[in-house]
Structure 1
């Protein structure tokens, strides 16, 4: 059957939802073509159905397919950034990586190898998890492609810089400690965003500071506002190669109940999307959205939030891929965030 796809500028886009009902057909991300249906992709969305690294509630192995289902409602024009990402560049769904669910080390090696293969011709990845363990091999691949350590913006309720769980060094709570130890992160340009909740002890913060991380808590976002937070994140990162990792539990459980380790007092989905839009023009080299656990996601709230988060990341990567004169011009709040940024350094970013 003819898929009735939208095509523009030589790029094969999503199935036309004005002619094919959104609930019909295979659930690729945003109803985009599969990678094998296009000659090459500038941006690829890939799933990693892996959750053997979780310390509490499992289920994120089903996250990628859940996000794809929720993404049926996405439309091809992003008005917040005045960009039609699927017209600007070729975006495709690369399917899921096949990783060993019983061997974490083998799974990490497989994810890294697959990421290197998918990016061999310059393709940028937005990865759907899976638990946060997968960020480490994705960062390894991103740093290797960049030829240098990469900056990191880590959106999460938790630090994920702990040392071990039950003696295990590779879990969803340890990827960024391992990444610092391996020298693949630029320790002058690291920040958590949205952290909150109790810790094991003050040493958690001391270790985190020693690794080079700044912290923007969820309370900072509330008190300082999106405009100020975006400005200070941009100041900290500069034009370094930037990887963005989004644990969906950065959102308050009211906005993302379907996750393994929820924490009260999180940011809203609106705040998350606006902060991401404020990263426009930065040197984004890859991103992930992880820890979506559909078994706990009543009314598909988390899937919707995660699909929109991935859509904004795809838009940013698409916008950065084309020559400057073809990029859309931001016309919303995110543009103001850049234009009105204050010069002071944010509390929590100054000394970390």
Structure 2
């Protein structure tokens, strides 16, 4: 199920001057030492982290799911994971916003890509669930790089096997709680309705964040209320501000196991043009990062960033934003594991 498609660092001769030396801090193998190896050189692992094959155990794995067979408009998110990795080369080991060196708190790795069947959605969903469950059984939390938003459903199934129904924060321009598209139950617009129907999310702790734009009708909102979703639209957040929004989210989540799913189109197209279904009136990258940092201390058991389509991403704007989102997810998890939050 796991296709680690980057060549291992051990392919170089042991005495090679080109071998990438890594930072070792807190007893954990960290990123390539940028003082010895230029950031633009070497393997494109996330944040220049070691591959999962280089360590005996990983506390957190950043994994790619290059799959977009559930897309209803512009395709291309299958190329998102490697685009995000390439855009993550400038990420550094210390996160000043949360005063943490996440890669020193626990062992973080690039887990490679999970290869899914692009021609059979049902098979792909099941295979991703199995792979995510395997990581969980090994005590490894996942930060997943999509891929389209269909992948959130099998990832939620996997964490629910361990934690029971989980709280969910869904950052997105869209609700993604529609029933079907052209008769298909598994698409990037339906994962959270399926999650509700399967009982794998905690209906007292669900919230959409950053939604906006036209809907098919008022019934869309009525269905969401029936499922238990709260909604903080981009307009709401603009009026309330970051601190008030964070306070309301934290009150809704409490100490429940939390999964965060972030569609990059939650950001305005000015900050994330490289996505399949852009909507005007979105949030800035700064607002998104501050909202995520406000979740510090919550029991984050899994997270994803999805719908990055590099064909539409001039100057890597979207890739850079997505890389920073994944970095914040990693920091939040590492702080919890390291006892800092």
TM-score, length basis structure 1: 0.91
| Matched residue, 2:58 | 41
Quick one: which of 229, 246, 250 aligns to 1:230? 246
* Whole-angstrom CA distance in 1 between matches of 2:173 and 2:148: 14
Long gaps (5+) in structure 2 = 1-17
In structure 1, what is the equivalent of residue 29 of structure 2?
12
Q: Does 1:213 align with 2:229?
A: yes
Aligned match for 1:251, one of 255, 262, 267: 267
Give the secondary structure class of the aligned counterpart of 2:58.
coil
Task: Verify: 1:131 aligned to 2:154, yes or no.
Answer: no
Aligned-pair distance for 1:24?
Answer: 0.2
1:188-337 to 2 correspondences below 5 Å? 188-322=204-338, 324=339, 327=340
2:318 & 2:19 partners in 1: Cα distance?
32
Give secondary structure in 1 for the equivalent of 2:259. strand
| Paired residue secondary structure (1:119) | helix
Q: Deviations over 1:211-250 (max 9, x none)?
A: 0000000011111000000000000000000000000000
The 2-side partners of 1:122 and 1:188 are apart by: 27
CA distance in 1, matches of 2:135, 2:89: 24
Contact 2:274 2:310 in 1 (8 A): yes
Which 4+ stretches in 1 moved above 6 angstroms?
A: none
2:111 corresponds to 1:111:
no
- Residue 191 of structure 1 aligns to a residue in which SS? strand
Residue segments in structure 1 that go unaligned for 5+ positions in a row: 329-352
SS class of match (1:72): coil
Mapped partners of 2:260, 2:303: distance in 1: 5
Aligned to 1:185: 201
| Distance (whole Å) between structure 2 residues aligned to residue 142 and residue 311 of structure 1 | 20
Q: How does 1:29-68 map to 2 (within 5 A)?
A: 29-68=46-85
Give the C-alpha shift of residue 120 in structure 1: 1.2
> Aligned partners of 2:25, 2:219: CA distance in 1, in Å?
53
How many angstroms apart in 2 are the aligned matches of 1:74 and 1:281?
22
Q: What's the offset of the Cα at 1:2?
A: 2.2
The structure 1 residue matched to 2:185, chosen from 163, 169, 191, is: 169
Mapped contact 2:20–2:36 kept (Cα < 8 A): no
Aligned position for 1:27:
44
| 1:7 partner SS | strand
SS in 2 for 1:51: coil
- The superposition leaves residues 137-162 of structure 1 with CA deviations (integer Å, 9 ceiling, x where unpaired) of 0000011121x100000000000000
Q: Classify the secondary structure of the residue corresponding to 1:223.
A: helix
Tell me by how many angstroms 1:317 deviates: 0.5
Following the alignment from structure 1 to structure 2, what is the Cα–Cα distance between the partners of residues 110 and 278?
A: 33
